[in-house]
Copies of this chain bind each other. A is one copy, B any other.
Amino acid sequence: MQYPAPIAKLINSFTKLPGIGAKTAARLAFYILEMPESDVLEFAQNLINAKRDLTHCSVCGNITDQDPCIICSDRGRDKSIILVVEDTRDVMSMERMQEFNGYYHVLGGVLSPMEGTGPDDLNVAPLIKRLADEAVKEVIIATNATSEGEATAVYLSRLIKPSGIKVTRLAHGLSVGSDIEYADEMTLFRAIEGRREI
């Protein structure tokens, strides 16, 4: 015996999402049945709207509902610095910090030979074009501290440096509030390597 068709289809839709297996999908689908109808209709509408109304900013590649995006449209920011990140969520993390006042560039991923992602699959060419057009003095590469993120950073720095623009990378070291006891060897090595006089 199978679940009735409407619930089986909903479970199937949930299993297409990352990190959601058959058991979790069933739990979510049954939860939907108990939700107020207005919430479910709103959920369905939000899915459609997010897919239909959002696009990538033609300047920085960030996900946006207006083009250029709200950050690229802000003329009050510092034109001399571009911070390069992997995806939109990284832009949000940086903005939450409320300390960075330059512009962003969203790569939409990282170089990954394993997954067949090369420079042409990323938002790299528009970045190089921005660097030629604009009064950019520094590019901060803020890809993740993973091997792919590091490789992408090295690739970009080699690409940009010949133009004379300063290329920097986020510092590696201990997270604020973390215990040395639990830090991995690479992080400790980077923390010692990057030590500063106090």
Q: Residues on A close to B: CB < 8 A?
A: 1, 3-7, 9-10, 12-13, 16-19, 24, 26-33, 35, 37, 39-54, 63-66, 70-71, 87-89, 92, 95-96
Contact = CB atoms under 8 A, between A and B. Distances in A.
B40 A7 contact: no
5 contacts: A3-B92, A4-B63, A41-B51, A43-B44, A44-B47
A4 B54 contact: yes
B35 A16 contact: yes
A70 B1 contact: yes
Contacts of A89: 26-27, 30
Residue among A39, A42, A44, A89 with the most chain B CB within 10 A? A44
A71 B19 contact: no
Nearest to A36: B51
Nearest to A9: B46
B44 A48 contact: yes
A65 B10 CA distance: 13
Nearest to A41: B48
A54 B19 contact: no
A33 B18 CA distance: 13
A66 B37 CA distance: 19
B43 A1 contact: no
A28 B19 CA distance: 9
Contacts of A64: 4
Given A4-B63, A10-B49, 12 more contacts: A3-B92, A4-B64, A4-B65, A4-B70, A6-B50, A13-B47, A17-B32, A27-B89, A30-B63, A35-B51, A37-B51, A41-B48
Contacts of A71: 1
Contacts of A51: 32-33, 35, 37, 40-41
A32 B5 contact: no
Contact of A49 (B9, B26, B50): B9
